[in-house]
Structure 1
């Protein structure tokens, strides 16, 4: 099973389509660079997940019973107080998913078009007797044992709708 996935988009006649390219490793000695070059030659480009898309994905997953484990912000211009407030809001969402509205309102200023304020989100859900996790990075990398499920059930439609609106 591939460890990582990378979101790629292709501009086709009817608009953008989004695909998930799977990799075993992203390191320098891996085939990642070669596979990405081949995809670029075929017309694919990478997908960047901005903060608006991150929150939209989280919102849809919360509706389906997923748990938001964390939101990572690595922007050096963000002060510790803001990071603490975001972490506090995430803890509130764990207790009650309806608290997502508070997080969304708090981060409204960071949702300008194209903003990459949120670097990574981590979510989990219980399937049968075990938990499945997924991490989504702003650079379009997916990690975790539920990456393909999260891509097909949430990310693909949300990102395609966003890329093709207007």
Structure 2
């Protein structure tokens, strides 16, 4: 069953936690999910391009595949095509990730959200990860524990 989740984090000195809350866009309004979490003292996680790049690297390190990197509309078409070409080559040579990281470096350096979303395949499951902190796929707890949480802990808390 495909499901959705939204990433949140505690934002007090004592509450350095990361959470993945289930989210059903058919039954719940996005802003209500955010509002409810804020009332509980949580902040939504926005996944900037630097975090996206780290998620891509963690996926490859966990024997996963990068299926697609969706760039913002403002991104130069040449860069979009280069990224697509590199991703095709990644399936047979994971060392090419260095070239992908170089191609995306301008976005990661700016702290931007120029990477709108990524599609990855890991543990025989496909996931979509969006810059607004929404994850879509099967068995979201698995991707959260294996990939998302370690990357986000390092980014936010230096763990």
TM-score, reference length from structure 1: 0.86
Give RMSD over aligned pairs. Answer: 2.0
Residue pair 1:2, 1:23 contacting (<8 A) in 2 also: no
1:49 counterpart residue number: 47
Q: How does 1:9-158 map to 2 (within 5 A)?
A: 9-14=9-14, 16-24=16-24, 26-27=25-26, 30=28, 32-76=30-74, 78-125=75-122, 127=123, 131-158=124-151
Task: Say which is worse superposed, 115-124 or 9-18, in terms of deviation.
Answer: 9-18
Which segments of structure 1 move beyond 6 Å, counting only runs of 4 or more? Answer: none
Residue pair 1:3, 1:143 contacting (<8 A) in 2 also: yes
Distance 2:2 2:22 in 1: 6
TM-score, reference length from structure 2: 0.89
Distance 2:80 2:16 in 1: 34
Report the alpha carbon displacement of residue 74 of structure 1 after superposing the two structures with TM: 2.2
Distance 1:66 1:100 in 2: 12
Report the alpha carbon displacement of residue 75 of structure 1 after superposing the two structures with TM: 2.8
What do the CA deviations read for 1:65-97 (whole angstroms, capped 9, x no partner)? 101101001232x22111101111111112211
Report the alpha carbon displacement of residue 113 of structure 1 after superposing the two structures with TM: 4.6
What do the CA deviations read for 1:3-55 (whole angstroms, capped 9, x no partner)? 1100011123346321001022x25x525443332211111111111111111
Task: Say which is worse superposed, 105-114 or 47-56, in terms of deviation.
Answer: 105-114
Aligned length: 159
Residue pair 2:5, 2:140 contacting (<8 A) in 1 also: yes
